[in-house]
Amino acid sequence: MLRAALIGLPSSGKTTLFQLMTSGRDAPRGKGDVNIGISKVPDGRLDRLTAMYNPRKRVPATVEFTDIIAARTNAQALVDVAGYKNADALVHVIHAFRDQSVPHPSGSIDAGRDAQAMEDELILADLGVAERRLERIDKDLKKGRSAELEKERDLVHRCQIALEEGRPLRALELTGDDLKRLRGFQFLSAKPLLLVINLDEGDISEVGATVEKAAEKSGLTAFLAHAATRAVALCAKIELEISQLEGDDATAFLADLGLSESGLDRVIRTSYDLLGYMSFFTVGEDECRAWSIARGTSAQLAAGEIHTDIQRGFIRAEVVAYDALIARGTMAACRDHGEVRLEGKEYIVQDGDIINFRFAT
C-alpha cells in the first residue's frame, strides 16, 4: 500500500485535512500520537466498471496517510519522528489563509518561508545521516577494499555535497542501482513532496483548482520549480462544509466555486500520481477492484499484487483496454473484435488495463 505522511506547522490545517480525508474525525489525539488512516483513490473508471458489472463488492485503490502530532511548534519537530521515514511521500500542508482566530506560529503568513523552512529541516536531518554513514564506510574500507562499498561511498558523498549546498536529494533524480543503494537510508529530502496550499475561501473562488495561480498568489512559484514537487490548492474551511453535504448538494457547491471535484480528492489522487503509481482493474460479478502498481510494472509482478500464487504460477494475462471495454459494452464483444489480447510475463501493464490472469498452482 502507498504511504504518505502529512507534515506541517501547527495551525496549518494538517490535522483537519487528515481527519476529513480518512473520516477520522473522532480519533483520539495527544502529543506524540501517530494516527493512520486510509483514503480511497477517486477513479471514475472504477465507478463505470462497477455500474457495468453490478458486483457484490467494489474495491478502490487506496493511500495510507499518517498524521503525527509533534511536541514542538516549529519545523524542527519533524525530524524527531521516525514514523516519517517509512513514508513513500511527504505531504506538507501550508498555512496560506488569513484568519485572526487561527494565528500563524511565526506571527505572519509567508507560505514560501514555511515551505523552505521545512525543506531546510529535511535537508539538515539527511545531512546528519549522510555524514554518519560516510564515517562508517571509511572505517570499513580501512579494513579491506570493497567495490560495492566504494560505490556507496561515492554516492553518499554526492548526496552530502548536494545537502551541504541546500539541495534536497529528490533534485538529484537518482535511478537504477543508485536509487536502490539509497533506499535503505530513507532520506527524507529524497521523498517526493506534495504541497497542500491551504488558502482562504475568497482565494479559492479566485484561483479555483489552478495550481499556478495559487502558487503565485501564495509566493510558492519558485519553490515548486524543484524536482519531484507538486502542489494542490484548497481551503480547509470549505472542505469541512463540503464533507457535511449530500452528494448533489456537494457537487452544486463545488460548481459554484468553479471546481469539478473536492480538494481532498485532488490531494489523494495527486499523492497517488506523485509516486508514479497507476491502476489496473479486475472485474466480475463478485468484485470490481482497482489495484495499485508502479508505472513500468510487468504483468507477472502485477499478478503478485493479487496473490503470490498467481505470480508464481503465471501463464499469461488476458488484457483489454478500459476504453475498448467501455466502448463495446461487454468482454464478449471485445473478444469478437479482437480487442482481448494474450500477453506474457514481460508485458508492461498500462494504466487502466483490465486483466484476467491465467495461472497454474
pLDDT tens-digit series, residues 69-120: 654 555 555 555 566 878 999 999 999 998 888 888 888 999 999 999 999 9
Residues 6+ positions from 300 with CB-CB distance below 8 Å: 311, 314, 345, 346
pLDDT of residue 30: 47
Beta-strand (E) ranges in the chain? 2-7, 34-40, 57-59, 62-68, 89-95, 193-198, 229-234, 277-282, 287-294, 314-320, 341-343, 354-359
Determine the topology of domain 121-189 in CATH.
Answer: DNA polymerase; domain 1 (1.10.150)
Residues of the chain with CATH 3.40.50.300: 2-105+190-274
Nearest to 271 by CA among 24, 65, 37: 65
Determine the topology of domain 2-105+190-274 in CATH.
Answer: Rossmann fold (3.40.50)
CA of residue 330 relative to chain centroid, distance: 33
Residues of the chain with CATH 3.10.20.30: 296-359
pLDDT of residue 26: 44
* Architecture per CATH, 296-359: Roll (3.10)
pLDDT of residue 25: 46
The model's pTM is 0.87
Integer Cα distance of 69 and 28 in angstroms: 11
For 301, counting Cβ atoms within 10 Å of its Cβ (0-12 exposed, 13-18 middle, 19+ buried), the class is middle
Low-confidence ranges of the chain (pLDDT < 50): 25-31, 71
In b/e form, how buried is each residue of 40-54, taking b as 16+ CB within 10 angstroms?
A: bbbbebbeebbeebe
Grid cell digits, residue 201: 475561501
Number of CB atoms found within 10 A of residue 330's CB: 11
Regarding beta strands 287-294 and 277-282, do their DSSP bridges make them parallel or antiparallel, or are they unpaired? antiparallel
pLDDT of residue 2: 86
End-to-end CA separation in angstroms for the chain:
25
CB 224 within 8 A of CB 5: no
